């Protein structure tokens, strides 16, 4: 179980890197779009996050699951994923939604680290 958990955690971090990096490279651009890195990063984070909680609940890995923290992270990630999914085919993402995706990504990482 530990190996599976560590693989999922690694993939979860790769998803964060893709989501954040995909948004970061478009910060200065005049036309911001949802590139494949953003879309696949958000999807990877969602799937691996759910699997991480399931594996941790099934096995005896570290501390018990903090369901309130996981619920908060899931709500933030669902908000990110909905905005990414809705805007993925548009030629230009509205500035407010782009910055919301960027900020919520950082907030989600902050919740993971500081809570």
pLDDT tens over the chain, length 115 residues: 889 999 999 999 999 999 999 999 998 888 899 999 999 999 999 999 999 999 999 987 778 899 999 999 999 999 999 999 999 999 999 999 999 999 999 999 999 999 9
pTM: 0.91
Q: List the structure tokens of 44.
A: 């990877």
Strands (E) in the chain, as ranges, are none
Question: What number of residues does the chain have?
Answer: 115
The rounded distance, in Å, linking the Cα atoms of 105 and 23 is: 9
What is the rounded radius of gyration, in angstroms, for the C-alpha atoms of the chain? 15
CB 55 within 8 A of CB 10: no
Question: pLDDT at position 64, please?
Answer: 87
Count of CB atoms within 10 A of residue 10's CB? 11
Q: List the structure tokens of 21.
A: 């990096």
């Amino acid at each position: 179980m530990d190996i599976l958990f560590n693989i999922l955690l690694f993939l979860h971090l790769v998803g964060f890197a893709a989501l954040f990096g995909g948004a970061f490279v478009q910060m200065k651009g005049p036309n911001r779009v949802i590139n494949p890195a953003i879309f696949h990063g958000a999807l990877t984070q969602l799937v691996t996050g759910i699997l991480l909680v399931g594996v941790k609940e099934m096995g005896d890995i570290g501390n018990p699951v903090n369901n309130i923290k996981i619920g908060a992270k899931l709500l933030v990630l669902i908000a990110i994923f909905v905005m990414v999914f809705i805007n993925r085919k548009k030629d230009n993402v509205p500035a407010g939604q782009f910055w919301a995706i960027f900020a919520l990504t950082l907030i989600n990482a902050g919740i993971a680290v500081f809570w």
